[in-house]
Amino acid sequence: MNSTDTAKAPKGLFIKTYGCQMNVYDSERMRDVLRPLGYAPVDGPEQADLVVVNTCHIREKATEKVYSELGQLKKMKEASGGRMTIAVAGCVAQAEGEELIRRQPAVDLVLGPQSYHKLPEMIARASRAVGDRLETEFETLEKFDALPRERNADGPTAFLSVQEGCDKFCTFCVVPYTRGAEMSRRVDDIVMEARSLAAQGVREISLLGQNVNAYHGAAPAMDGGEDWTLGQLCRHVARIGGIDRIRYTTSHPRDMDDDLIAAHGDTQEMMPFLHLPVQSGSDRVLDAMNRGHTAADFHAIIAKVRAARPDIALASDFIVGFPGETDADFDATMDLVRATGFAIAYSFKYSPRPGTPAAELPRQVPEEVKNQRLQALQALLRDQQTAFNAEQAGKTLDVLVTGKGRMAGQMHGRSPYQQAVHFVGPQDLIGRIATVRIVGSSLNSLTGELVSAHEAVA
Binding-site annotation: residue ranges for [4Fe-4S] cluster: 20, 56, 91, 166, 170, 173
Using CB under 6 A, which of 144, 186, 324, 326 touches ligand 5AD? 144
Using CB under 6 A, which of 298, 350, 388, 423 touches ligand 5AD? 350
d(CA 432, CA 413): 10
Nearer to ligand SF4, 22 or 141 (CB): 141
Phi, psi of 394 (to 5 degrees): 90, -20
Q: Closest Cα to residue 414, out of 434, 393, 394?
A: 434
Can you point out the beta strands (E) in 157-227?
A: 157-161, 163-164, 183-184, 204-208
Using CB under 6 A, which of 166, 173, 336, 343 touches ligand 5AD? 173
Nearer to ligand SF4, 211 or 402 (CB): 211
Nearer to ligand SF4, 146 or 387 (CB): 146
- Using CB under 6 A as the binding rule, the residues of this chain from 149 to 188 that contact ligand SF4 are 166, 168-170, 173, 175-176
- Using CB under 6 A as the binding rule, the residues of this chain from 69 to 128 that contact ligand SF4 are none
If binding is defined by CB under 6 A, does position 275 make contact with ligand SF4? no
Q: Closest Cα to residue 180, out of 194, 192, 164, 193?
A: 164
- Using CB under 6 A as the binding rule, the residues of this chain from 243 to 262 that contact ligand SF4 are 252
If binding is defined by CB under 6 A, does position 353 make contact with ligand 5AD? yes
Q: Which residues contact 239 (CB under 8 A, 6 or more apart)?
A: none
Using CB under 6 A, which of 104, 157, 206, 279 touches ligand 5AD? 279
Cα dihedral value 290, 296, 299, 304, nearest 10: -100
Task: Indicate which of ligand 5AD, ligand SF4, none lies near residue 351 (CB less than 5 to 8 Å, by partner kind).
Answer: ligand 5AD
Q: Closest Cα to residue 370, out of 316, 331, 332, 325?
A: 325
- Using CB under 6 A as the binding rule, the residues of this chain from 308 to 337 that contact ligand 5AD are 317, 319
**b/e sequence 375-411, b meaning 16+ C-beta within 10 Å:** eebbebbeebbeebbeebeeeebbbbbbeebeeeeeb
Q: Are strands 396-404 and 433-441 parallel, antiparallel or unpaired?
A: antiparallel
The residues of the shown chain that bind ligand 5AD, judged by CB under 6 A, are: 144, 172-173, 277, 279, 317, 319, 348, 350-351, 353
Residues lying near ligand SF4 in the complex (CB under 6 A) are found at 166, 168-170, 173, 175-176, 210-211, 252
